[in-house]
């Protein structure tokens, strides 16, 4: 049985960019337009090693304004239906938040809402994106922002792990001489997913 990973987060958080990192050839549409980009849920195959592949599900962005493609209420309903109705069992929820664009209460609200929607048995991890301009090692973002996360009501103890990354493409990062950030981000997020879906000592993240 295939393992299913669903990626959730607000519009522009970088969900589809993350899919493109994890699934070469996926070509999920990305955009920084004012309106949301992904209009339908879509699944892609992600290979994380021999015998370690999973289906990664891109979803429609939350918290779009009324001018957007799908206002938030409808987006939430659509996502809820997808989570409940698609005849799939979920093995991991990846919640994306943009680390450098200002965390909002709505990020936490949606985190808690969808976390409880999938139920306690489904592990939830946080992937912090938009850290390409972050000063210092990207993994420092998490300890430095723990208090903010807690204030917002994202309880770090209720998550099964996290990764702090940039989801920009390799080409974009190389253009800014930051190709190493791409490799590190990809490795960190792959390690994170592997460590949850195939928990064994060898798969634990080392960063
Ligand atoms: N600088 C920077 N830009 C990013 C990062 N991740 C995504 N972006 C950019 O942000 C914009 C939105 O990215 P998407 O991947 O389309 O975001 P999404 O969460 O799929 O958005 P919706 O489909 O609307 O829900 C694009 O222009 C991306 O290139 C990141 O880590 N750093
Ligand atoms: Mg998208």
> Which ligand has an atom closest to residue 100 CA?
1
Please name every residue paired with 43 in a beta bridge, in sequence order, or none if there are none.
Answer: 57
pLDDT, one tens digit per residue, over 2-37 is: 999 999 999 999 999 999 999 999 989 888 776 778
The CATH architecture to which 3-203 belongs is 3-Layer(aba) Sandwich (3.40)
Q: Which residue has the higher pLDDT, 88 or 149?
A: 149
H-type alpha helices, the chain: 15-22, 72-85, 105-118, 141-144, 146-152, 170-175, 179-197
Q: Is the pTM of this model over 0.75?
A: yes
CA distance 157 to 192: 16
Q: What is the pLDDT of residue 43?
A: 96
Neighbours of ion ligand 2 (CB under 5 A): 15-16, 37-38
State residue 2 phi and psi, 5-degree precision: -75, 145
Domains of the chain by residue range: 3-203
pLDDT, one tens digit per residue, over 166-206 is: 999 999 999 999 999 999 999 999 999 999 999 986 555 55
The CB of 61 under 6 Å from ligand 1? The reply is yes
The CB of 118 under 6 Å from ligand 1? The reply is no
């Amino acid at each position: 049985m295939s393992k299913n990973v669903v990626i959730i987060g607000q519009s522009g958080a970088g969900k589809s960019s993350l899919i493109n990192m994890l699934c070469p050839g996926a070509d999920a549409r990305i955009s920084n337009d004012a309106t949301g980009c992904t209009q339908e849920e879509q699944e892609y195959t992600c290979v994380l090693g021999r015998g370690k592949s999973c289906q990664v599900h891109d979803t429609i962005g939350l918290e779009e304004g009324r001018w957007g493609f799908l206002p938030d209420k409808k987006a939430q309903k659509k996502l809820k239906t997808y989570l409940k109705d698609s005849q799939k069992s979920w093995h991991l929820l990846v919640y994306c938040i943009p680390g450098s664009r200002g965390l909002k209460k709505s990020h936490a609200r949606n985190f808690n809402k969808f976390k409880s929607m999938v139920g306690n048995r489904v592990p939830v991890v946080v992937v912090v994106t938009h850290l390409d301009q972050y000063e210092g090692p990207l993994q420092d973002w998490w300890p430095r922002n723990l208090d903010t996360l807690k204030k917002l009501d994202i309880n770090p103890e209720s998550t099964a792990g996290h990764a702090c990354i940039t989801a920009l493409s390799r080409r974009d990062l190389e253009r800014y001489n930051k190709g190493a950030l791409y490799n590190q981000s990809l490795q960190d997020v792959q390690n994170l997913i592997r460590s949850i879906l195939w928990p064994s000592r060898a798969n634990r993240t080392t960063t």
